[in-house]
């Protein structure tokens, strides 16, 4: 890299290039097939639902809720799988060394990987949710601004899950990471509820509640039920608080990842 | 036979040495343990809950292990180019496939055995009764189901990329019961052509729900074990579909240039 | 991004996360379509719901399905149990036809509901269908079926209340099954439910009934503290109910009042009657008369309360 090129490699550009690499690799490895498989299954499912019949508005809402929930779930699965294997795969194939030999900090490398994994998850979510939303008849009232918030909250959730998976991939074995992150996403709030319920009434009740608040609560970022329940959008202040909640979690994930990555021998 | 045994041993050792199986087992056991720590009012006669949760988590974890292990065997051999020295030896492609398949099934059996040991120990510790005959049949049918799932994943991994193969196998496993209810429901409303297509679907795609004895094992005390004739039919069904998938995998493998 | 100046503040901010986490409550809202009992029954009794088996996104729906399966020893019938009767009376009875999504031309008999896995005569799958009927829990739908005890469902209701502490019905059904063998625990369970759902009148009503039962000792003696507790529960239930009951509720046309049901109405009247009885037995007669008259007016007339008021007035 000559001096001019070195100067042009701003942090933002470096992050963009790493992320672009991830996306190109996703296309090269034909991983988009998975999105297509899910999309085809979704379309088939929704068409079958229509063929079987949606006899009342409640059932229409139920099918719409199921479709959007599955779309969000599939996007999370893909984001976890994509993010969790980035660093282990680069280490195994030894492709990480030439990348980090460039004028690129490890934090930038992580950030690049993260945005691309988030983008992969978000694209999956948009495609699948669009299929479900377009195909299911809407027999009850739903708030359009709430739909927008549902998508935005979904992207925030995917961003957090990608960051968490990247952090896990530095600290623990691959399979363990995938399983643990999946458990946090789908059972984290239930686990927190368990602990709080068990400690209720005891001297550690307040401590348990405080401690469990550190487990990222993905349930709070899933607004699908709120949308299909016909509730209006969150006030801007509340949505901002939610965004701040995710931002703090993201920043902590990146800080922990950067510390762990710096200490890791490559 | 020796070649198959050696290849199977390699897969089994790799599966057992890698920490993935233990990670899955550990997390599953912790999950079940966490659920059981909840105060259920000290009530007698709630073993159905334990059975249902434990069998559900264990079946799912075993299936996930079988799918992932089976689906990644061949693509990894190609990706790491380790298949070339193997094929240079006097080992036929069928032997290679059967060796890999046997290894995957042994590793799945290993995983299932750990789970079942944990399940039995947990049941006895809780002072619950185990309907042994039904439980034995449940374990055997799980193995038959995993054989079909593993052979199917093998074939899918030959014709699709790894993630797509895993996704489709997982979706088929998870939606088996839904698909079964769906086809029986929509059949009467279809045209003659539709009915032929649906009948073809039922016989071409393995119906995994017919191996799922978990509901009876959960509500076990009132359900008798299956008859030997039923078990024989299920074994034959699994043999036919597994052989079919091995055959398809072999065809795809032969067409692939090395 | 070079340098580590941002890392420590990020981790420090994370330490304060619990302060923020409690303020993120996008799913805390009332009048939810999801948890309305009418909506639960309407969507879970359709063909598409039966096809989906246990696949559900809400715990309330999941418990609806699980209750049906557990009460039939694992056999999956088309949903037919009356969940109102189950949660408010502990009765296991079949519902009428309303809300069912018919597929067959045959008349629907709530006592003989069809199974999700069809009979051999209606199953085109041949050997596959036969094997499924043998392996999965299945019974001939033409034979009368037995409903098992709901005790085995208790852990699921407990899990449900842990996962979703605002699910009033889970507390109700759980307490119904629990109050037989473990009344103290049932009362504790309901108190937890009341703390989590301070506006649900059914929970203090049920808690009052259990406390009243506990107040009567085995040898006929009365526990005064328990009696006072029961009385408090009935008064609390009455006050909450009066805020919730729709004005002008017409028992002849309950369909015009979607948030209210006949079961709720019966509970509402039960709560006020108990409140009056306790006032009569442990408070003052005049106050009991005043309450009986006032509550009867609230309902637009209530025979039981009217008779009670007249009897109390004539006692002199």
**Least reliable range by pLDDT among A45-49, C29-33, C54-58, C283-287:** C29-33
What mean pLDDT is predicted for residues A92-96?
78
Q: Which residues of B touch A174 (CB under 8 A)?
A: 20
If one counts every other C-beta atom within 10 angstroms of the C-beta of residue A92, the result is: 12
pLDDT at residue C181, rounded to an integer: 85
The span from the CA of C185 to the CA of C269, in Å, is: 26
Contact B37 A52 (CB under 8 A): no
Separation of alpha carbons B154 and C274, rounded Å: 68
Are the beta carbons of A222 and A133 closer than 8 angstroms? no
Identify the bridge partners of residue A193 per DSSP, sorted by sequence position: none
**H helices present in chain C, as ranges:** 7-15, 17-21, 37-44, 47-51, 59-71, 83-89, 127-135, 154-163, 168-179, 183-196, 202-215, 224-244, 262-282, 285-298, 303-314
pLDDT higher than threshold 80 for residue C111? no
C135 → closest Cβ in B40, B199, B226 = B226
Mutation target to probe the A interface, by most A beta carbons within 10 A, among C33, C52, C166 is C33
Residue B33 has pLDDT above 50, yes or no: yes
Q: For residues C168 and C197, is the Cβ–Cβ distance under 8 A?
A: yes
Model confidence at B75, in pLDDT bands (50, 70, 90)?
A: confident
Q: Hey, where are the domains in chain B?
A: 2-255
Helix, strand, or coil here: C77? strand
Burial of C314 (0-12, 13-18, 19+ CB in 10 A): exposed
Q: How far apart are the first and last CA of chain A?
A: 23
Place of tokens 């009992």: C37
Report the alpha-carbon angle B249-B154-B255, nearest 5.
30
Q: Kindly report the nearest CA distance between residue A52 and chain C, in angstroms.
A: 7
Number of structural domains, chain A? 1
Taking contacts as CB-CB distances below 8 angstroms, the residues of chain B near C137 are 215-216, 219, 223
pLDDT for position C86: 66
Query: What CA dihedral angle connects A234, A237, A239 and A242, to 10 degrees?
Result: -130
From the list B19, B39, B161, the residue facing A33 with the nearest CB is B161
- The answer to whether residues A246 and A160 touch, using CB atoms and an 8 Å cutoff, is yes
Average pLDDT over every residue of A29-35 = 72
The whole-number pLDDT of residue B7 equals 87
pLDDT of residue C105: 46
- Write the DSSP string, C188-241: HHHHHHHHH-TT-THHHHHHHHHHHHHHB-TTS-B-HHHHHHHHHHHHHHHHHH
Give the separation between CA B100 and CA B87, rounded to whole angstroms.
13
Q: How far is CA A96 from CA A16, A18, A100, A171, B184, in A?
A: 16, 11, 6, 17, 53
Q: What is the pLDDT of residues C262-314, one digit of tens each?
A: 778 888 999 999 999 999 999 999 999 999 999 999 998 889 999 999 998 88
Neighbours of chain A (3+ CB pairs under 8 A): B, C
- What span, in angstroms and rounded, lies between the C-alpha atoms of A232 and A230? 7
Length of chain C: 316
Q: How many Å apart are CA A127 and CA C38, to the nearest integer?
A: 33
Residue A37 and residue A70: Cα distance in Å, rounded? 14
C125: helix, strand or coil: coil
Q: Which residues pair with C77 in a beta bridge?
A: C115
Percent of chain A with pLDDT over 70: 95
Q: Do B27 and A174 touch (CB under 8 A)?
A: no
First to last CA, chain C: 89
Provide the token pair at A101. 């030999």
What is the nearest CA distance from B231 to chain A, expressed in angstroms? 32
pLDDT confidence tier of residue C6, bands split at 50, 70 and 90: confident
Q: What is the pLDDT of residue B152?
A: 96
**C26 Cβ contact list (under 8 Å, min separation 6):** A153, A220, A223, A226, A234, A238, A242
pLDDT at C126 over 80: yes
| C304 token code pair | 């039981």
Q: Does A200 contact chain B (CB < 8 Å)?
A: no
Contact C138/B212 with Cβ under 8 angstroms?
Answer: no
Q: Is A32 near chain B, with CB under 8 Å?
A: no
For C30-59, the three-class secondary structure string (H helix, E strand, C coil) is: CCCCCCCHHHHHHHHCCHHHHHCCCCCCCH
Using the CB atoms, write b or e for B49-86: b if 16+ within 10 Å: bbbbbbbebbbebbbbbbbbbbbbbbbebeeeeebeee
User: What is the enclosing helix (H) or strand (E) of B83?
Assistant: helix B83-88
Q: CB–CB of B20 and A81 under 8 A?
A: no
Q: What tokens appear for B112 in the block?
A: 């299932």
Residues in chain A, total: 266
Instruction: Considering only CA atoms, give the Rg of chain B.
Output: 20
Q: What percent of chain B has pLDDT over 90?
A: 42
- With tokens 């801007």, the residue in question is A236
Query: Chain-wide mean pLDDT for chain C?
Result: 84
Domain that includes residue A239, residue range: 3-263
8-state DSSP, A235: P
Query: Which has the closest alpha carbon to B62: B25, B11, B102?
Result: B25
> Radius of gyration (Cα) for chain A, nearest Å?
20
A134-165 pLDDT tens trace? 988 888 999 999 999 999 999 999 999 999 99
Judge: C14–A248 Cβ closer than 8 Å, yes or no. yes
Phi, psi of B185 (to 5 degrees): -75, -45
Facing residues of C222 across strands? C216
Q: Which of B17, B21, B23, B197 to mutate to test the interface with A (most CBs of A within 10 A)?
A: B23
Q: What are A45-72's pLDDT values in tens digits?
A: 888 888 888 888 988 999 999 999 999 9
User: Residue C42: its chain A contacts at CB < 8 A?
Assistant: 56, 58-59
Can you tell me the distance from the alpha carbon of C32 to that of A24, in angstroms, rounded to the nearest whole number?
44
At residue A6, does pLDDT exceed 80?
no
Give which of A74, A265, A263, A256 is closest to A164, Cα–Cα: A256
**Size (chain B), residues:** 258
Residues of B in contact with A52 (CB under 8 A): 182, 185-186
Q: What is the pLDDT of residues A157-192, one digit of tens each?
A: 999 999 999 999 999 888 788 888 999 999 888 888
Cβ neighbors of B1 (< 8 A, separation 6 or more) are none
In this structure, of A137-146, B104-113, C238-247, C307-316, the range with the lowest mean pLDDT score is C307-316
What is the chain B residue with the closest CA to C157?
A: B40
Mean pLDDT confidence for A189-208: 82
Q: State the pLDDT at residue B67.
A: 93
Is the per-residue pLDDT at A120 higher than 50? yes
Residue A253 CA: distances (Å) to CA of A73, A104, A158, A224, A259: 21, 19, 13, 25, 10
> Between chain A and chain C, how many beta carbons pairs sit less than 8 Å apart?
140
Q: Which of B42, B203, B212 has the CB atom closest to C136's CB atom?
A: B212
CB contact under 8 A, A229 and C32: yes
CA angle C228, C232, C233 (to 5 degrees): 120
pLDDT of residue B139: 95
Q: For the complex shown, is ipTM > 0.85?
A: yes
Partner residues linked to C94 by β-bridges = C81
pLDDT, mean over chain B: 87
What's the Rg (C-alpha) of chain C? Answer: 24
CA-to-CA distance for C49 and A61, rounded, in angstroms?
12
Does residue C97 have a pLDDT over 70?
Answer: no
pLDDT at B245: 96
Name the residue among A51, A176, A194 with its Cβ closest to that of B186: A51
d(C-alpha C264, C-alpha C252), whole Å: 14
Q: How far does the CA of residue A134 sit from the closest CA of chain C (Å)? A: 19
Torsion sign over Cα B118, B119, B125, B130: negative
- Look at A119-128, B43-52, C124-133, C136-145 and tell me which has the smallest mean pLDDT: B43-52
What are the residue ranges of helices labelled H in B91-213? 93-125, 132-159, 162-174, 176-186, 192-204
Cα–Cα distance, A75 to B63 (Å, whole number): 21
Look at the alpha carbons of C218, C222, C225, C231 in this order and tell me if their dihedral is positive or negative.
Answer: positive
């Amino acid at each position: 890299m000559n001096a001019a090129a070195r100067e042009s490699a701003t942090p933002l550009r470096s992050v963009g290039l790493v992320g672009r690499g991830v996306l190109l690799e996703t296309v090269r490895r034909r991983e988009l097939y998975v999105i297509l498989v899910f999309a085809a299954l979704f379309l088939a499912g929704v068409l079958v639902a229509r063929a079987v019949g949606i006899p009342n508005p409640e059932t229409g809402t139920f099918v719409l809720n199921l479709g959007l929930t599955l779309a969000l779930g599939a996007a999370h699965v893909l984001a976890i799988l994509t993010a969790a294997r980035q660093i282990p795969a680069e280490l195994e194939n030894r492709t990480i060394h030439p990348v980090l030999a460039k004028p690129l900090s490890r934090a930038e490398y992580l950030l690049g990987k993260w945005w691309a994994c988030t983008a992969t998850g978000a694209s999956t979510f948009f495609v699948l949710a669009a299929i479900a939303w377009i195909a299911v008849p809407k027999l009850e009232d739903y708030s359009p601004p709430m739909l927008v918030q549902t998508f935005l909250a979904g992207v925030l959730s995917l961003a957090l899950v990608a960051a968490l998976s990247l952090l896990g991939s530095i600290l623990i074995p691959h399979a363990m990471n995938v399983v643990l992150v999946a458990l946090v996403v789908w059972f984290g709030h239930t686990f927190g509820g368990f602990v709080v319920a068990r400690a209720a009434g005891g001297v550690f009740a307040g401590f348990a509640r405080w401690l469990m608040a550190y487990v990222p609560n993905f349930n709070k970022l899933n607004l699908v039920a709120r949308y299909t329940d016909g509730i209006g959008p969150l006030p801007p202040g509340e949505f901002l608080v939610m965004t701040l909640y995710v931002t703090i979690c993201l920043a902590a994930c990146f800080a922990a990842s950067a510390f762990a990555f710096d200490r890791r021998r490559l | 036979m020796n070649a198959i045994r050696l290849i199977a041993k390699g897969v089994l050792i790799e599966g057992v040495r890698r920490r993935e199986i233990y990670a899955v087992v550990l997390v599953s056991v912790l999950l079940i343990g966490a659920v059981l720590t909840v105060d259920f009012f000290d009530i007698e006669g709630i073993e159905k809950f334990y059975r249902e949760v434990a069998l559900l988590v264990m079946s799912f974890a075993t299936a996930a292990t079988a799918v992932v292990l089976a689906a990644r065997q061949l693509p990894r051999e190609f990706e790491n180019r380790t298949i070339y020295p193997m094929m240079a030896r006097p080992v036929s492609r069928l032997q290679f496939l059967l060796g890999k398949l046997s290894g995957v099934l042994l590793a799945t059996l290993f995983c299932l055995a750990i789970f079942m040991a944990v399940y039995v120990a947990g049941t006895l510790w809780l002072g619950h009764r185990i309907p042994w005959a039904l439980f034995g049949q449940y374990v055997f049918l799980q193995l038959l189901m995993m054989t079909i799932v593993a052979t199917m994943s093998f074939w899918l991994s030959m014709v699709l990329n790894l993630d797509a193969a895993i996704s489709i196998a997982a979706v088929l496993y998870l939606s088996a019961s839904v698909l079964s209810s769906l086809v029986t429901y929509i059949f009467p409303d279809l045209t003659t052509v539709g009915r032929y297509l649906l009948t073809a679907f039922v016989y071409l795609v393995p119906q995994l729900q017919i191996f799922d004895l978990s509901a009876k094992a959960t509500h076990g005390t009132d359900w008798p074990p299956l008859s030997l004739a039923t078990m024989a039919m299920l074994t034959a069904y699994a043999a036919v579909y597994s052989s079919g998938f091995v055959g398809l995998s072999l065809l795809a493998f032969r067409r692939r240039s090395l | 991004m070079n340098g580590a100046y941002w890392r420590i503040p990020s981790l420090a901010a994370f330490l304060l996360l619990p302060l923020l986490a409690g303020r993120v409550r996008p799913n805390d809202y009332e009048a939810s379509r999801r948890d309305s009992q009418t909506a639960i029954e309407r969507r879970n009794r359709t063909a598409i719901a039966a096809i989906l088996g246990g696949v559900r996104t809400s715990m309330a729906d999941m418990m609806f399905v699980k209750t049906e399966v557990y009460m039939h020893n694992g056999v999956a019938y088309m949903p037919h149990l009356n969940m109102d009767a189950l949660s408010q009376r502990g009765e296991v009875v079949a519902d009428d036809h309303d809300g069912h999504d018919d597929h067959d031309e045959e008349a629907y008999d709530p006592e003989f509901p069809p199974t999700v896995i069809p009979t051999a005569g209606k199953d085109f799958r041949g050997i596959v269908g036969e094997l499924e009927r043998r392996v999965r829990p299945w019974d001939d739908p033409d034979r009368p079926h037995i409903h098992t005890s709901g005790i085995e469902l208790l852990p699921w209701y407990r899990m449900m209340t842990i996962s979703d502490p605002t699910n009033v019905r889970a507390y109700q059904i759980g307490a119904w099954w629990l109050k037989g063998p473990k009344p103290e625990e049932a009362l504790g369970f309901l108190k937890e439910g009341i703390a989590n759902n301070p506006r649900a009148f059914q929970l203090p009503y049920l808690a009052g009934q259990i406390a009243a039962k506990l107040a009567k000792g085995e040898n006929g003696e009365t526990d005064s503290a328990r009696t006072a507790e029961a009385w408090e529960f009935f008064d609390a239930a009455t006050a909450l109910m009066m805020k919730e009951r729709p004005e002008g509720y017409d028992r002849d046309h309950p369909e015009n009042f979607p948030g209210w049901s006949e079961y709720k109405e019966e509970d509402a009247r039960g709560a006020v009657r108990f409140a009056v009885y306790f006032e009569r037995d442990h408070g003052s007669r005049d106050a009991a008369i005043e309450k009986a008259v006032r509550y009867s007016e609230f309902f637009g007339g209530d025979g039981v309360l009217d008779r009670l008021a007249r009897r109390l007035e004539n006692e002199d």
